[in-house]
Homo-oligomer: A and B are copies of this chain.
Amino acid sequence: MLQAPQTAALLLIGDEILSGKVEEANLVVLARTLRALGIALRRVVTIGDDVDVIAREVAELSRTHDHLITSGGVGPTHDDVTVPGVAQAFGVPVELDPGLIAMLRDHYKERCTEGHLLMARVPAGATLETTESVRWPTIRFGNTWLFPGIPEVFRLKLPVLAARLAGGRPWVSHAVYTQMDEGDLKPLLDPIVAQHPEVSVGSYPKWSDPSYRTKLTFDGRDPEAVSAAVAAFVALLPTGEPQRTEP
């Protein structure tokens, strides 16, 4: 029996997402990063730039998951309130980190103002995480990691998670494409789902691709169990199916 995977939650912070000004772009890359690490992303919550709401969510999500990643709200302006929110969640004050101050002064040189130094704010007791390839620190407080919301920077910093959270057994995933619709597939899928409880079976109809009608996915952390479920399902399909399989 495989050990249950570690769990994670993602907290997306920003009025600009809820108003539709920007398209959220960090969920999918975090989901794929965690999955490759063998960590199950269980819940994603999107909220606005409000200290009390952030504090409540961080307290709840960090308590109920092994890892929490936040995205957004770590700049210096009035709408960047993630650091105060995380500090409030854990009942600690906000302080300026001397190491971050030194890095900011070195970066901005004579242009450095008090405004820039607000980017040195951390919840008191936080750890600054770096790797050889990611030199600008990521703020971590316990199991809670504070990532920037700008998609390019979010991606640049992801290797720090891989460096610190490695260890779980990754998932394997197979896909089967058919021309059948979900109504016809249901009686074939139900026994497969019942007989392979360790395999997660997904069914996704395609609206506008003529090469198939429904994609079935078979996911699990035991490769043999996944292969067995795929083989059992394919054996139930009528002549001419499936259209193709992956991998």
Partner of A19 from B31, B114, B118, B189 at Cβ < 8 Å: B31
Residues A21 and B217 in contact, CB atoms below 8 Å apart:
yes
Interface string of A37-60 (1 = CB under 8 A from B): 000111111111100000000000
How many monomers of this chain does the complex have? Answer: 2
A28 interfacial contact with B, CB 8 Å: yes
- Report the count of interface residues on A (CB-CB < 8 A): 69
B115 to A185, Cβ gap below 8 A? yes
CB distance from A81 to the nearest CB of B (A): 12
A15 interface residue per 8 A CB criterion: yes
Q: Is A193 an interface residue (CB 8 A)?
A: yes
> Which one of B108, B113, B117, B186 lies within 8 Å of A76 (CB-CB)?
B186
Are A16 and B115 neighbours in the complex by a CB distance under 8 Å? no
Contact partner, A46, options B22, B27, B32, B184, Cβ 8 Å: B27
* Contact mask for chain A residues 94-136; partner B; CB cutoff 8 A; 1 contact, 0 none: 0000000000000010011111111100000000000000000
Chain B nearest CB, measured from A204 CB (Å) = 6
Cross-chain contact A16 with B182 (CB below 8 angstroms) = no
Cα–Cα, bound, A124→B44 (Å): 29
Taking the complex as formed, is A190 at the interface, i.e. its CB lies under 8 A from any CB of chain B?
Answer: yes
Q: Are A45 and B48 in contact (CB under 8 A)?
A: no
Further contacts, 13 of them, CB under 8 A, given A18-B43, A22-B28, A79-B201 = A15-B200, A21-B202, A46-B46, A75-B203, A76-B186, A77-B182, A77-B185, A77-B186, A78-B189, A78-B193, A79-B203, A115-B187, A117-B183
Subset of 13 A-B contacts with CB under 8 Å = A12-B44, A15-B200, A19-B35, A21-B202, A22-B204, A23-B28, A24-B27, A43-B47, A49-B202, A75-B203, A115-B185, A115-B187, A152-B208
